[in-house]
């Protein structure tokens, strides 16, 4: 499951996928939006480990890179 280890951002499942041609608008399918996760090496509690972090947490500098 896609989940940020820092902020807990997960998959959002609200929305519909509509065909590009839009000739049959009544044909819809559910879609999901996944967070933009990156695997980074982080120094936590004096040891290096890998974490899955979303791009928003990377830009806000919430962690210390190893």
Beta strands in the chain (DSSP E): 16-18, 28-30, 37-44, 47-54
Q: What topology is assigned to 1-66 in CATH?
A: Ribosomal Protein L24e; Chain: T; (2.30.170)
pLDDT tens string 6-62: 899 999 888 888 777 666 666 778 888 999 999 999 887 888 889 999 999 888 877
Of 65 and 38, the structure prediction assigns the larger pLDDT to 38
Could you identify the residue written with the tokens 């190893």?
66
Which residue(s) pair with 38 in the sheet?
Answer: 53
* 65 DSSP assignment: B
Q: Which two tokens stand for residue 33?
A: 């939006």
pTM for the complete prediction?
A: 0.67
Token reading at 9: 């951002």
Q: Where are the domains of the chain?
A: 1-66
In degrees and rounded to multiples of 5, residue 50 shows phi and psi of: -95, 140
């Amino acid at each position: 499951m896609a989940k940020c280890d820092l902020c807990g951002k997960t998959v959002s499942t609200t929305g519909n996928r509509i065909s590009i041609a839009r000739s049959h608008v009544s044909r819809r399918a559910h879609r999901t939006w996944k967070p933009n996760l990156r695997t980074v090496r982080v120094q936590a509690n004096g040891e290096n480990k890998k974490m899955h972090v979303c791009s928003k947490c990377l830009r806000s500098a919430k962690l210390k890179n190893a």
